[in-house]
Amino acid sequence: MKTLHKILTGGAILLASLTACKKDLNLKPTNDITADQVYSTPEGYKQVLFKVYASFATTSGKGSGDSDLGGIDAGASDFFRLYWNAQELTTDEALCVWNDPGVFDLNYQTYTSDNIILQGLYTRSIYQITLANEFLRESTPEKLASRNISGADASDITAARAEARFLRAYQYWVLMDMFGNPPFLTEANEIGKVAPKQIKRADLFNYVESELLAIENELPVSNEYGRATRAAGQMLLSRVYLNAAVYIGTAKNTEAVNYASKVISGGYSLHSQYKNLFLSDNNQGNPETIFAINYDANFTQNFGGTTFLINAAISSDMDPASFGVPNGGWGGIRSASTLPLMFGDYSGNTDKRAMFFAGKLENDNIAVFKDGLAVIKFRNVSQNNITPPSNAGTFSSVDFPLFRLPEAYLNYAEGVLRGGGGGTNSQALAYVNLLRQRAYGNDSGRLNSISLDVILSERAKEFYWEGYRRTDLIRFGKFTDGSYLWPFKGGIKGGRGVEATRALFPLPSADLIANPNLTQNPGY
């Protein structure tokens, strides 16, 4: 069982009473458990903090059939599944055959303000922000003193505030990256009094940056597996800076390079085997993953997360047992043909990162699973090919990495190529070649020079199906533009360019109706 989930159940129960988060950030407890009861002991604080973490991996504190969110199917309401769909189905890396509400609109880039998947993601991010705000509101020195919590216990809770601020900053980054101009509240706002104000994307950038800078040295250098560390905060800062030209119109490549360098010097190293990063025991002996969402087939059961990613990527005739889900195989998502073609020899005989199931390359019919290669990167088995315990034969214990060391290498390289200071071209090339040496198992993939096009291609090969692609394509000017096409982009088989405003998702219509302070993004 993954360490972070040892007290998951208690933390989930304590905050399961938060409202369904259907409208905005103005949430408040609604059952008979009061804040003074929840936070009466140091253990209560820890359980609440773990609920903030657990909300990444669960749909609610009541199990897979229930959701903290309203208006969306519980099975599709976890953070990862919503985030993955938004970041991958809209790009050249993945297509989904299911005619579920909102799916084809993402594949076609024809989403509207009523898209249920985007509404779910927006609401899930706001829900997690609300949980972090609540923890921060109740963990001030004044609150601790009023509850007679002092000494080492008070110090531990105060230190945990940096983790809550990191988790909140991460979710505000998600909203900034995807929706641009969301509603905004912190622990300083009194809940339930007024509808939250809207924050502009540039102002949100400044807030996220200031929060991450403020807590940089407060986050621990090392922590329990699955909890935030200083390197996680630095990695998020590097990511924010690398995309600054998109967010605020001003490049911050030097800052992106500098913070990537901090991560690189933080004691992490590449795992010797790329494929082992995506197995059920990837929480063990893994020097590369900086921050992950923890999953356990017995304790974090829901139909999102890596349970979704593994089952949806294979069909029942692909021997699901060999993927560690003997009763699974949903036949839902597969690669757009552009993804395996990036590898050239996508059989995996050269670049070992190419992990596809033999079949038909072309995507002739978006509703046919076998029109496109299956991606077999994630498998719910250990390095020794042992399937972890699961009471249903479908749930996954594969942790999902939100930050890995290669992002620091590639951020450094891209930042240098975009003119950022603090680094060198030779070092940028060396970092890229470290990834390619692992991928090829020797020096046969070694490059003598790199360009921005090489970096974009390398990011696809290293991070495909890990939720990077939409953000990367936008930064490189290829997400909406007609100069770069993939199957069914814009709703036609051969692909077409779409409106530039599609680079931002619309704010959900339900929230616009509920909150008069919000203005819709252009183009919707």
For residue 442, pLDDT beyond 60: yes
- Please report, as a single letter, which amino acid is at residue 109: Q
In angstroms, the CA 57 to CA 53 distance is 8
Yes or no: say if 383 and 266 are a contact pair by the CB < 8 Å rule. no
Instruction: Evaluate if residue 79 carries a pLDDT over 80.
Output: yes
pLDDT in tens, 248-289: 999 999 999 999 999 999 999 999 999 999 999 999 999 999
Residue 22 has a pLDDT of 33
pLDDT tens sequence across 444-453 = 999 999 999 9
Query: What is the C-alpha separation between 29 and 34, in angstroms, rounded?
Result: 8
Q: How confident is the model at residue 313 (pLDDT cuts 50, 70, 90)?
A: very high
Instruction: Give residue 349's pLDDT.
Output: 78
Instruction: Tell me the C-alpha distance between 26 and 28, whole Å.
Output: 7
CB distance 347 to 354 below 8 Å: yes
DSSP 8-state code for residue 360: B
Output 148 or 33, whichever has higher pLDDT.
148
Joined together, the tokens standing for residue 399 give: 């942790």
Q: Counting runs of H as helices and runs of E as strands, what totals does the chain give?
A: 19, 8
Q: Distance between CA 279 and CA 377 in Å, rounded?
A: 9
Cα distances from 308 to residues 19, 76, 101, 301, 394, in angstroms, run: 26, 9, 17, 11, 9
**How large is the average pLDDT for residues 299-306?**
90
pLDDT at 5 over 60: no
CA dist list (Å): 95 to 114, 116, 427:
21, 18, 36
Distance in angstroms (rounded) separating the CA atoms of residues 334 and 97: 8
pLDDT band at 26, cuts 50/70/90? very low
Percent of the chain whose predicted confidence (pLDDT) is above 70: 92
Q: Which helix (H) or strand (E) holds 183?
A: strand 183-184
Distance CA 115, CA 105 (A): 8
Structure tokens belonging to residue 424:
């060198």
pLDDT band at 108 (very low <50, low <70, confident <90, very high): very high
H/E stretch holding 374 reads strand 374-375
Residue 10 pLDDT exceeds 90: no
Residue 348 has pLDDT above 70, yes or no: yes
For residue 4, pLDDT over 90 is answered with no
Q: What is the pLDDT of residue 13?
A: 37
Q: Which residue has the higher pLDDT, 204 or 25?
A: 204
Residue 73: per-residue pLDDT:
72
Task: Please give the share of the chain, as a percent, with pLDDT higher than 90.
Answer: 85
- Tokens standing for 324? 């560690």
Report the candidate in 372, 355, 354 with the shortest Cα–Cα distance to residue 363.
372
Question: Are 163 and 55 a contacting pair, CB within 8 Å?
Answer: no
Q: Answer yes or no: is pLDDT of 474 > 60.
A: yes
CA distance 89 to 83: 10
Give the three-class secondary structure for 176: helix
Mean of all residue pLDDT scores within the chain: 92
Q: How confident is the model at residue 62 (pLDDT cuts 50, 70, 90)?
A: low
CB 296 within 8 A of CB 5: yes
Q: What is the average per-residue pLDDT within 64-85?
A: 81
Cα angle at 75 between 71 and 81, to 5 degrees? 95
Which of 12-21, 327-336, 487-496 has the weakest average pLDDT? Answer: 12-21
